[in-house]
Structure 1
Amino acid sequence: MNQSIPFPKKAKPQVQHQQPGIESVMDPAPIYEHPDYQKEARLQDKVAIITGGDSGIGRAVAVAFAKEGADLAIVYYNETEDAKKTKEQIEKLNRQCLLIQGDLANASFAQDIVNQTLTTFGKINILVNNAAVQYPQADITQIKDEELHRTFDVNYFGTFYLTREVIPHLTAGDSIINTTSVTAYEGHEMLLDYSSTKGALTAFTRSLAMNLAPQGIRVNAVAPGPIWTPLIPASFDAKKVAEHGTSVPMKRMGHPVELAGAYVLLASVEGSYMSGTTIHINGGTITNS
């Protein structure tokens, strides 16, 4: 990539009142595509399922995968307009896109995702478990049971359900990629339940990688830091949104496009000797990985 993107460093104060958030109303708009991306057909004719693929990191990964030749099944909760835009971007790249709406917290939805993907594309090669919710609370006594359960149901159990359904359809060379978080390694004073789910996903990634190694299926993770996604204005007050990313060494928030290449690496033959590992993309924060 030869062209440098002038990434907006700060977000304007803003709040959304819906999880996991809407990308189309964010200011500034998250950057999800690099204008100078070099296509190399790394994923030619592969089929990928991406949860939370309607916006944020999921959209950036979907667009990068499409540029590399993959067809996409995009799983989303209720952000229909965002999902339609992602589908439009993928189809502009002459790849197919299937939109699948539903709630990952329901175990039966996982089978529906697999069935629809197989009916449309006939195979599955890549699974990106990316969808998540979070409900910040400054005091553990204020964390409601329903929010605690919802966080685990979407972030961890939803990942487990879908992975369990997908694995029988994967073969040697295929890949599973989980989106964890810097909070799994550093913790977060307001995200006790969210960071716990990401810690669980980190352990799940390492254990499943060992379990599937004999089959030649690789399992890895990406741990984002303060990335500008809809989850941020949907979770925090306007002041915290405006400060998002300013505390990391690079002194700015990251944008979804800055993670997409890591997912391409982990999904492609270029990452063929990588399994059970986590790539940290967090603006220079040093973690104990």
Structure 2
Amino acid sequence: MMEDLTREKYLAHGIPPQSQSRKPGLEKDMDPPPVFDLESRRGSGKLTDKVAVVTGGDSGIGKAAAIGFAKEGAHLAIVYFDEHIDAETTKHLIEKQGVRCSLHAGDIADEAFCWKVIEDVIEIHGKIDILVNNAAWAKRQDSILDISAEQLQKTFATNVFSMFYLTKAVLPHLQVGSSIINTSSIDAYAGQTGQVDYSATKGAIVAFTRAMALELARDGVRVNGIAPGPIWTPLVASSHSEEEVAGFGISTPLGRPGQPVDLAGSFVLLASADSAYMTGQFLHINGGAYLSS
């Protein structure tokens, strides 16, 4: 429950030291598990019969966004790497809302896979109204000197190139009123030691979003983004050391790590007609962290 997400709870207990060697991380192995939904949150039909494609939708922020969409009546296509247990759990939760959900496993750094995903979604669901480019990969290094060419290419291929591939593939299917939402990060604005390549990709996503917003405005397609701060997701557990994870997010002005559910309403806003006069914009959900940087 949101009532439990308090400064006092995390100051008293924090997040226990933990790390996952497997990349991407698994939600089922996180302690405590991320909060991705609230039973008290009710939908109002803002996305009835829309079809949304969400990358990284098996867990974390993507999962929270997908469930938020489902509560508003949207059907979902969840794109993920190989976290099958997490994906099946998310599919079950989405279908409990009375909507359809398809799963699409593969590597979004592969252009051919991205085009295949869009083809499959059209075949299964008949249309696409919303694209959420959310999936990301990160590996911390103490110095830029430790970032190999291979790691640099993988980080950009997963975090940036995939957005080009999926956006190109989906454009012929979008209509006036369709929405593209890209997940950036506070790191694009404040920087982050130990994640130079990741931060650079998140900055590229901001520029990509603004450029695409201008390019697609004439077609009535809106392109916006969300820049999260310290959100408790599998990416954190798999890209930080045990010491870095311990106490994660407590230093923010609001005194706690963000939970995926903290972002769900913003994704719904940007996907729905409530944001009909917004494009090229970013919503900063970071517990006030950027205000104090």
2:38 maps to 34
Shift of 1:168: 1.1
Within-5 A mapping of 1:9-24: 9=10, 10-24=14-28
Counterpart secondary structure, 2:200: helix
SS at match of 2:77: strand
Contact 2:36 2:261 in 1 (8 A): yes
SS in 1 for 2:41: coil
Q: What is the count of residue pairs matched by the alignment? A: 286
Displacement of 1:247:
2.0
Match in the other structure for 1:158: 162
1:80 is matched by which residue type in structure 2?
A: H
Kindly provide the amino acid, as one letter, of the partner of residue 53 in structure 1: G
* Structure 1 stretches of 4+ moved >3 Å: none
- Give the letter aligned to residue 59 of structure 1: K
Query: For 1:108-160, what per-residue CA distance to the aligned partner results, in whole angstroms no more than 9, with x for missing partners?
Result: 01111111100001000000000000011111111122111110000000111
Residue 207 of structure 2 is aligned to residue 209 of structure 1: no
Deviation readout 1:83-102 (Å, 9 max, x if unpaired): 00000001111110000000
Task: Give the letter aligned to residue 15 of structure 2.
Answer: A
Q: How far has the Cα of 1:19 moved from its partner?
A: 1.5
| TM-score, structure 1 normalization | 0.97
Residue 243 of structure 1: CA displacement? 2.6
Distance 1:23 1:230 in 2: 5
Residue 124 of structure 2 is aligned to residue 120 of structure 1: yes
Q: Secondary structure at the match of 1:20?
A: coil
Match of 2:149 among 135, 138, 145: 145
Richer in helix (by share) = 2
* Aligned counterpart, 1:273: 277
The answer to whether 1:5 aligns with 2:9 is: no
Gaps of 5+ in 2: none
Contact 2:186/2:290 (CA < 8 Å) preserved in 1? no
Gaps of 5+ in 1: none
State the match for 2:290 in structure 1: 286
Quick one: which of 190, 214, 234 aligns to 2:238? Answer: 234
Give 1:248's aligned amino acid: T
In 2: Cα distance, 1:247 partner to 1:194 partner: 21
Contact 1:45-1:71 at 8 Å conserved across structures: yes
Structure-2 residue corresponding to 1:105: 109
Instruction: Determine the structure 2 residue equivalent to 1:195.
Output: 199
User: CA contact under 8 A between 1:5 and 1:34: conserved in structure 2?
Assistant: no
Alignment-derived partner of residue 76 in structure 2? 72
What value does the CA root-mean-square deviation take over the aligned residues? 1.2
TM-superposition CA deviations, 1:51-106 (whole Å, max 9, x none):
00000000001111000000000000010000000000011111100000000011
Three-state SS of the structure 2 residue aligned to 1:18 is coil
